[in-house]
Structure 1
């Protein structure tokens, strides 16, 4: 086709007469196939003018046929320019391209797919939300499903087809969530899953894994029925790190979304396939596999496996629980089989049993089940005590006899200490808590044993007993011993031990902990004298102001908050205006992009702010004036406790509120700090305290550098008396 007229480079100014009109200056190249060779065009476009005005001007300049609805502008990355993204995307100096409209491009792609072609073109366009919208509007996804089922696609093109489907699913997730059960039939899932069974081709496996992982929470029952756990776990042996990570991610998704019975089935299957050993041999022992993404999946798996104990942890032992009674009897029997069972019956058996339970350290020697009524640790404490006595018989018996036969006040009460230790352990390793979204620190030692928590407890209870003896503690020192034990465990875990044996070796003695505490106290004393306290009072206001300004700058950048309402978009974007006078918010579902403040149409004036309320407070749950239904949505969620920890409401003077659920703990702390700052209140989050303490400590160190080695007196030195005369001044 010949090059159209008007091929010389020229300039068009499309502005308005409005005072203060904002214009954008950018270049446009002609990218319509068949019209190569046209000179670029320079546009000055007012923000008040619609894009269609610019397109019509370009069509006139280049002499293009058809109507303006057949053309659109594209960014350099291939995404279509829309009225929604032009303000944030089109900057002065940008170079755009005039091409066919999204609707026309979609029809062209579908035509290519009908001929079993165009897979790379589809994959290239799939990340663009505008293209996805047009594709779904004409039910283009049906063509993708047909191609997957017909199995006529060449093996070299199938990865592009599946990857395009995955990208489209993730870019418009809310649409798929509402239509998943009607779109994804059993046949389609079976077809995609078949690639995990028959293929070893990484480019094909990766999108297959990703599609199935995305579908698990949306279509769980069918996914759980179709996905073969052994076929997933065998990929742990591969050398390809992305495939290994995705296999663990799939197990995590099944674990997280399954019922208690399903989780037990998955755990049993993992044990049968020796998944733990595969993870250790092929991932943990290979440093090249330790990517941030892999570590996060291992952290999730560790958390989900440990959370299998949550039910036991939150279940108190009932007085008539026969299984629990048998375990308690076994604790007594293994400890006192010679003293209690073989002793002549000179006193009532019940009385002898009570004495034995008292020696074991139970508070209630008449009915020991009462000691396990508190939750946590509930039944879990009894389970771990029983495991210790069952798998470490000699060490258990030695521990009991050493403490029960001395008859002095320095006996360590095994049962009471164990129950308190289990309560301590579940807090440290976060049993029962939802996984953190941004955490990638896990403990490899928990993958090195078939029953890691049982073995972990056994090591800790033996070390607790050793610490008790080193401290020559009595029952009055119980809380002190537990404080030392907590410190010992935390210090050892801080080194991220690879095995339980390494954890055991790194446990500090009481003397080492005491020495570390003494040095810390000495250092703290040097920094907390009267003079240093006065210095802190001078420095602190500036630090508080610095942290406050940082928080306000953070919310000026804005945050994308997930929604938890059934009939709405996925996200709401909230940001503070640069002048700190207005909170702007609105729906925004484009991942990874920041909306211009003009696009956030809902506004709250800072001058109208009244209060900040957290989800944990009764005010939050009892409020009737809230403009959103977070409370009811949260109660429907499986992650209610986790959501409540990240939920807060911003109230205005007129009684309305903006209810938000932060995407992470850091975001929650920063936003609540910033709102408190706008309300003129102190910053109360743990993150604010950490930042303040860190900056204050650094400032104090810098201030004290010049007097290092000098002793700072507690009292101000006395001012010497005035001289008798000032003749020396004149003599000088």
Structure 2
């Protein structure tokens, strides 16, 4: 006889202990299940813990998402999102650089989870991250690696749409734009900086104005002449975003700059005729650029002559 549909069989892991095989009744409160799991390993304070997936993005399980658990799923007992957020908030500001780097790595991973992100943002986590970026202290050990994880965490947190992009400062924008305009910058930092600027432009008209003042078409086109297709893709995505948000007269200025900088031949030689296949996202961004430029030509064709 098959088990009732409300029962799912799972394995639950905890570091240094044998996994527990459990039949979870989906009608039972999650807190009650977590207490049973903690009791099985003699762990006090079950309210300090939660369950999350052991594989993939390792998302936290909530009352709202628990119905997604399937038979045979491997789960982990983990520190609750609120406690994890509090601990990481402290560790990201540690004077010990190894501790801070490890915290940033963990933060970059956990920030993709909306449950954790909500807790961290409520503790003013985004303000802390922006201040760390604004300080731009390059004398710190592990600076490039730490900055890359900081920018990753920032972007993941902002992508949940919990807070407005308009809260970022001009100092932060200038710092991010600076990473894009520098001739020699770590690839991970450049990639994330391009992605952050694109999101700012697409999500805020006021930020578009500020970014358009900081970034030139020439700087972005230079990133198309590299061998890294991800960097090329992010650069074209930012060009598209700026083109899309620009007022009509500015769009024509951008199109003129494209022609002066030989954008078409650069894309042809460095992207389309490159020694690697064009990935789906690159193909999409090239299509968007083509549509935007064609639309501009169509507008000019439809304009009546005086």
TM-score range, shorter chain: 0.7 to 0.9
Cα pair 1:71 1:99 within 8 Å, conserved: yes
What's the CA shift for 1:278? 1.5
Residues 1:145 and 2:116 are matched in the alignment: no
The structure 1 residue matched to 2:12, chosen from 6, 28, 32, is 28
The separation in 2 between residues aligned to 1:315 and 1:237, in whole angstroms, is 35
The separation in 1 between residues aligned to 2:80 and 2:71, in whole angstroms, is 23
Spell out, residue by residue over 1:441-494, the C-alpha distance to the aligned partner (whole angstroms, 9 max, x if none).
xxxxxxxxxxxxxxxxxxxxxxxxxxxxxxxxxxxxxxxxxxxxxxxxxxxxxx
Spell out, residue by residue over 1:266-323, the C-alpha distance to the aligned partner (whole angstroms, 9 max, x if none).
1122222222221222223325253322222221111111111233344455xxx3xx
* Matched residue, 2:54: 76
Matching of residues 128-277 of structure 1 within 5 Å: 128-152=113-137, 154-170=143-159, 172-173=160-161, 175-176=162-163, 179-181=164-166, 183-198=167-182, 199-218=184-203, 219-277=207-265
What's the CA shift for 1:100? 0.8
* Matched residue, 1:306: 294
Q: 1:104 to 1:268 in 2, by over 3 A?
A: same
- 5+ unaligned residues in a row in structure 1: which ranges? 1-19, 322-732
The structure 2 residue matched to 1:94, chosen from 73, 91, 94, is 73
Q: 1:235 to 1:21 in 2, by over 3 A?
A: closer
The separation in 1 between residues aligned to 2:73 and 2:228, in whole angstroms, is 40
What's the CA shift for 1:169? 2.1
What's the CA shift for 1:42? 2.5
Q: Over aligned residue pairs, what C-alpha RMSD do you find? A: 1.9
Residues 1:293 and 2:281 are matched in the alignment: yes
Cα pair 2:133 2:175 within 8 Å, conserved: yes
The separation in 1 between residues aligned to 2:152 and 2:248, in whole angstroms, is 32
Cα pair 2:88 2:107 within 8 Å, conserved: yes
- 5+ unaligned residues in a row in structure 2: which ranges? none
Spell out, residue by residue over 1:168-193, the C-alpha distance to the aligned partner (whole angstroms, 9 max, x if none).
222x13x24xx221x21111011011
Cα pair 1:149 1:188 within 8 Å, conserved: yes
The SS at the match of 1:157 is helix
Cα pair 2:11 2:22 within 8 Å, conserved: yes
User: TM-score normalised to the size of structure 1?
Assistant: 0.38
The separation in 2 between residues aligned to 1:123 and 1:224, in whole angstroms, is 28
Q: RCO higher in 1 or 2 (8 Å CA, sep ≥ 6)?
A: 2
* Matched residue, 2:89: 110
User: TM-score normalised to the size of structure 2?
Assistant: 0.87
Cα pair 1:241 1:289 within 8 Å, conserved: no
The separation in 2 between residues aligned to 1:303 and 1:238, in whole angstroms, is 24
The worse-fitting range, judged by mean Cα deviation, of 43-52 and 103-112 is: 43-52
Cα pair 1:283 1:289 within 8 Å, conserved: no
Cα pair 1:23 1:47 within 8 Å, conserved: yes
Cα pair 2:108 2:150 within 8 Å, conserved: yes
* Over 6 Å off, 4+ runs: none
Spell out, residue by residue over 1:413-438, the C-alpha distance to the aligned partner (whole angstroms, 9 max, x if none).
xxxxxxxxxxxxxxxxxxxxxxxxxx
Spell out, residue by residue over 1:581-636, the C-alpha distance to the aligned partner (whole angstroms, 9 max, x if none).
xxxxxxxxxxxxxxxxxxxxxxxxxxxxxxxxxxxxxxxxxxxxxxxxxxxxxxxx
Cα pair 2:173 2:211 within 8 Å, conserved: yes
The separation in 2 between residues aligned to 1:62 and 1:295, in whole angstroms, is 51
Aligned length: 287
Cα pair 2:126 2:157 within 8 Å, conserved: no
Spell out, residue by residue over 1:332-380, the C-alpha distance to the aligned partner (whole angstroms, 9 max, x if none).
xxxxxxxxxxxxxxxxxxxxxxxxxxxxxxxxxxxxxxxxxxxxxxxxx
The separation in 1 between residues aligned to 2:198 and 2:5, in whole angstroms, is 48
